[in-house]
Amino acid sequence: MNPLKTIIVGGGHRSLIYASLAEIKPEKMQIVGIVDPDPIRRKYISERFNIASEHCFESVEELVKVPRFADAAINGTMDNIHVKTTIPLLEYGLDVLLEKPFAVNEKEARELVAAANKYGRKVMICFVLRYAPFYRKIKEELHKGTIGDIINIQLSEYVSYHHMSTSHVRGKWNNYEKCHASMLLAKCSHDMDIMMWLMGEDKPVAVSSFGCNKQFVLGNAPENAGTRCMVDCPLVDECLYSAKRLYIDHPDRWSFYVWADLEDRGIDDIEEKIKLLKTDSPYGICAYKSDNNVVDHQSVLVNFQSGATGTHNMVGGASKGLRKLHITGTKGEIYGNLEDGKVTISMIDPRPEHEFSETVIDVSVKDDSHGGGDLLLAEDFVDYVVNDEMSISCTSIQDSLRGHLAVFLADESRENGGQVLPVIL
Ligand SMILES: NC(=O)c1ccc[n+]([C@@H]2O[C@H](COP(=O)([O-])OP(=O)(O)OC[C@H]3O[C@@H](n4cnc5c(N)ncnc54)[C@H](O)[C@@H]3O)[C@@H](O)[C@H]2O)c1
């Protein structure tokens, strides 16, 4: 098999994770082009993957003017430009691996599905959790009918306090007007996709949701709190959300977000980092005084066609990041925490001297984020495009629509006091 000739569109941190497949398994993928308006990213990527200068572009519009020289693209641009950058790639004749969320509202989600159908191209969405052995094992057991018919599915995501601060209080996904994605869409489109995937043929029929920003509001700022932790705050060494404690005492945590500007310039110097937090960086602002306007917790309730019910709870500001799952069927249950790397199957067992019988399956992984999913997904994209083979985890855009619609409706419901909204597929 020849490697899949692939163009990176949006050469940021996510694209590079998938593109690293070209370095690990060059027989599968070859990176042959880069589209990014940022000259530093373009230069770095063209050098790293040895890309010809005539295949480096500032925009998708420039790319599609030249004769096609690749078969696929990895689109890792930011959420609100996924649709507008992907449609021209499809028209140009490329199959696309596209980051989630694939769209930021229902109208553009349907527009992109229609474009993929119209141009007959494959669009696969980076729902990496489907590839994590934890969820994959659960899907296989449900598929085999191990626990019978599903009665109820419960998912929870606990977003750690440092992740919450970095992404949704101070960072790139903290303000709806800036990023155009709600917290549920940015953080939990994964979980809503997992719910729909595990429910299989059982379709969602109604959604309701509640949630708000309870913690990170001005009224909760400690007395005497300053506006920039390391400039004018007497609580800089005590506050749980002090920028000094989160980012200077842990300079490597979330570095690709917090120190993106410095890393792009090849700078790794603690004094420069302190200077940044004291001056321009949004990560240096008081967590209670930033311009965030997304929720910090949200609960979603879904009713399915069969009468089964599902819930997803997203809770930001937890002591550690954790994803939990518990599914109850007519014969037993499957449950576990992604981070523990164990799936427990507990079966009803009415035999004398028994109550239930339990099996614990080890699904632990070591060397990849998202429970082992990132590189498996990139490899699966290659198989999907080249061999037309869809694995059990493969997420075509058509297949991703349900989860996205459930998120859009949950946000609409939350904004309308929990109103029950029908799902129209
Ligand atoms: N699958 C996951 O689990 C997961 C995890 C984190 C982020 N994401 C998603 O991945 C996407 C990228 O996130 P990131 O953190 O890698 O972002 P990033 O900021 O590191 O990368 C985005 C890149 O796009 C470039 N860009 C901007 N406008 C462009 C345009 N018009 N055309 C081409 N390139 C353009 C930027 O210069 C930048 O290099 C987001 O949609 C995010 O929600 C997914």
Would you say residue 368 has pLDDT above 80?
no
| pLDDT-based confidence at residue 366 (cuts at 50, 70, 90) | confident
Burial pattern 296-310, b for ≥16 Cβ within 10 A else e, equals bbbbbbbbbeeebeb
Backbone phi, psi, residue 20, to 5°: -65, -15
| pLDDT-based confidence at residue 328 (cuts at 50, 70, 90) | very high
Give the angle 395-399-404 at the CA atoms, nearest 5°. 100
Q: Check whether residue 261 and residue 277 sit in a common domain.
A: yes
**Domain final residue, candidates 284, 306, 329:** 284
Backbone phi, psi, residue 376, to 5°: -60, -40
Q: Contact 255/248 with Cβ under 8 angstroms? A: no
pLDDT score at 263: 86
Distance 98 CA to ligand 1 centre (A): 10
Q: How far is CA 162 from CA 242, 254, 319, 338, 377, in A?
A: 10, 9, 9, 19, 27
Question: Ligand 1: which of 15, 56, 78 to mutate, judged by most atoms within 8 Å of the beta carbon?
Answer: 78
Give residue ranges with CB within 6 A of ligand 1: 9-14, 35-38, 41, 59-60, 76-79, 81, 85, 99-100, 126, 128, 186, 370
**Domain final residue, candidates 243, 265, 284:** 284
Would you say residue 179 has pLDDT above 80?
yes
Q: Name the closest-CA residue to atom 36, ligand 1.
A: 10
Distance 299 CA to ligand 1 centre (A): 27
Mean pLDDT of 225-229: 98
Q: Check whether residue 172 and residue 147 sit in a common domain.
A: yes
Question: Ligand 1: which of 18, 36, 176, 184 to mutate, judged by most atoms within 8 Å of the beta carbon?
Answer: 36
In which domain, by residue range, is 366 found?
129-216+292-422
Structure tokens at 24: 């690990």
Question: Ligand 1: which of 7, 8, 13, 14 to mutate, judged by most atoms within 8 Å of the beta carbon?
Answer: 14
Mind listing the pLDDT tens digit for each residue in 376-420?
A: 899 999 999 999 998 999 999 999 999 999 999 999 999 999 999
Mean pLDDT of 108-118: 97
Percent of the chain surpassing pLDDT 70: 99
| pLDDT-based confidence at residue 237 (cuts at 50, 70, 90) | very high
Q: Check whether residue 19 and residue 38 sit in a common domain.
A: yes
Place of tokens 């299989």: 200
Distance 405 CA to ligand 1 centre (A): 22
Give the residue among 17, 5, 96, 4 at the shortest CA–CA distance from 373.
17
Q: Check whether residue 165 and residue 200 sit in a common domain.
A: yes
Mean pLDDT of the chain: 96
Give the residue among 208, 147, 201, 198 at the shortest CA–CA distance from 344.
147
Q: Check whether residue 276 and residue 416 sit in a common domain.
A: no
CATH number of the domain at 330, please: 3.30.360.10
* Percentages of the chain per state (helix, strand, coil), in multiples of 5: 40, 25, 35
Mind listing the pLDDT tens digit for each residue in 268-288?
A: 999 999 999 999 999 999 999
Would you say residue 373 has pLDDT above 80?
no
Q: Contact 407/106 with Cβ under 8 angstroms? A: no
| pLDDT-based confidence at residue 171 (cuts at 50, 70, 90) | very high
Q: Is the peptide bond before 222 cis (omega within 30 degrees of 0)?
A: no
**Domain final residue, candidates 229, 258, 284:** 284
Q: Check whether residue 208 and residue 108 sit in a common domain.
A: no
Q: Which atom of ligand 1 is nearest to the CA of 257?
A: 15
Instruction: Report how many domains make up the chain.
Output: 3
Would you say residue 370 has pLDDT above 70?
no
Q: Check whether residue 401 and residue 314 sit in a common domain.
A: yes
Q: Which atom of ligand 1 is nearest to the CA of 256?
A: 20
Distance 77 CA to ligand 1 centre (A): 4
Q: Check whether residue 184 and residue 299 sit in a common domain.
A: yes
Distance 130 CA to ligand 1 centre (A): 20
Q: Check whether residue 48 and residue 168 sit in a common domain.
A: no
pLDDT score at 130: 94
Q: Which residues pair with residue 95 across a beta bridge?
A: 72
Mean pLDDT of 168-175: 97
Distance 31 CA to ligand 1 centre (A): 17
CATH number of the domain at 43, please: 3.40.50.720
Q: Is the peptide bond before 101 cis (omega within 30 degrees of 0)?
A: yes
Taken as a whole, the chain contains a residue count of: 425
Q: Contact 386/1 with Cβ under 8 angstroms? A: yes
Q: Check whether residue 225 and residue 337 sit in a common domain.
A: no
Place of tokens 């996205």: 404
Q: Check whether residue 241 and residue 268 sit in a common domain.
A: yes
Give the whole-angstrom CA distance, residue 3 versus residue 49: 14
Q: Which atom of ligand 1 is nearest to the CA of 186?
A: 43
Instruction: Name which of 117-126, 167-176, 371-380 the model is least confident about.
Output: 371-380
Q: Answer left, alpha or beta for residue 51, where phi above 0 means left and psi between -120 and 50 means alpha.
A: beta
229: helix, strand or coil: helix
Would you say residue 303 has pLDDT above 90?
yes
Q: Check whether residue 139 and residue 162 sit in a common domain.
A: yes
Distance 100 CA to ligand 1 centre (A): 10
Structure tokens at 122: 């494959």
Cα-to-chain-centroid distance, residue 273: 27
Residues 6+ apart with CB under 8 A from 261: 276
Mean pLDDT of 42-56: 98
